[in-house]
Chain A
Amino acid sequence: MDFDLHVIENGIPLLMKGLITTIWVCGASLGIGTVLGSVACLSKLYGNRQQRLLANAYVNLFRTVPELVVIFWVYSCLPLFLNVRLSAPICGLVAMSLYAGAYLAEIFRAGILAVPRGQTEAGLALGIPTLHIWTAIIIPPALRRMAPALMGFLTELIKVSALLSTIAVGDLFYEASLIAAETFRYVEMISVVAVIYFIMIFPLSMIARYKERRLRAEIGH
Chain B
Amino acid sequence: MTGQSEVPSGGMVGSDRPLISCDSIHKSYGSFEVLRGISTSVRSGEVVCIVGPSGGGKSTFLRTLNGLEGIQSGSITVNGLRLPGNRKVLREIRREVGMVFQSFNLFGHMSVRDNITLAPITARGLSREEANERAERLLERVGIRDQVDKYPGQLSGGQQQRVAIARALAMEPLAMLFDEPTSALDPEMIKEVLDAIRELARTGMTMIIVTHEMSFAREIADRILFFADGLLQVDATPEPFFGCPTNERLRAFLSKLL
A residues near B (Cβ < 8 Å) are 116, 118-119, 121-129, 132, 136-137, 140-141, 144
| Residues B109 and A121 in contact, CB atoms below 8 Å apart | no
Q: Tell me, yes or no, whether B73 is within 8 Å of chain A by CB.
A: no
| Residues B94 and A125 in contact, CB atoms below 8 Å apart | yes
Q: How many whole Å from B215's CB to the nearest CB in chain A?
A: 28
Give complex CA distance A208, B9 in Å: 54
Q: Tell me, yes or no, whether B216 is within 8 Å of chain A by CB.
A: no
| Residues A124 and B106 in contact, CB atoms below 8 Å apart | no
Closest to B87 in A: A130
Give complex CA distance A127, B110 in Å: 18
Q: Which of B16-24, B48-56, B95-103, B233-241 contacts A (4 or more CB under 8 A)?
A: B95-103
CB < 8 Å: which of B68, B95, B164, B171 contacts A121? B68
Q: How many whole Å from B118's CB to the nearest CB in chain A?
A: 6
Instruction: Please indicate the chain B residues that have their CB under 8 angstroms from the CB of A136 in the complex.
Output: 107, 110, 118, 122
Give complex CA distance A132, B114 in Å: 13
| Residues A127 and B94 in contact, CB atoms below 8 Å apart | yes
| Residues A127 and B109 in contact, CB atoms below 8 Å apart | no
From 73 to 98 in chain B, residues with beta carbon under 8 angstroms from any chain A beta carbon are 91-95, 98
Instruction: Please indicate the chain A residues that have their CB under 8 angstroms from the CB of B109 in the complex.
Output: 140-141, 144
| Residues B105 and A122 in contact, CB atoms below 8 Å apart | yes
Q: How many whole Å from B208's CB to the nearest CB in chain A?
A: 13
Instruction: Please indicate the chain A residues that have their CB under 8 angstroms from the CB of B108 in the complex.
Output: 119, 141
Closest to B102 in A: A118
Q: Tell me, yes or no, whether B119 is within 8 Å of chain A by CB.
A: yes
From 98 to 144 in chain B, residues with beta carbon under 8 angstroms from any chain A beta carbon are 98-99, 101, 103, 105-110, 118-119, 122-123
Q: Tell me, yes or no, whether B167 is within 8 Å of chain A by CB.
A: yes
Instruction: Please indicate the chain B residues that have their CB under 8 angstroms from the CB of A140 in the complex.
Output: 109
Closest to B164 in A: A122
Give complex CA distance A140, B109 in Å: 8
| Residues B119 and A128 in contact, CB atoms below 8 Å apart | yes
CB < 8 Å: which of A118, A124, A128 contacts B118? A128
CB < 8 Å: which of A119, A125, A137 contacts B66? A125
Would you mind naming 24 contact pairs between A and B with Cβ atoms under 8 Å apart?
A118-B101, A119-B108, A121-B68, A121-B101, A122-B101, A125-B68, A125-B94, A125-B101, A126-B95, A126-B99, A126-B119, A126-B123, A126-B167, A127-B94, A127-B95, A127-B171, A129-B122, A129-B123, A132-B118, A136-B110, A136-B122, A137-B118, A141-B108, A144-B109
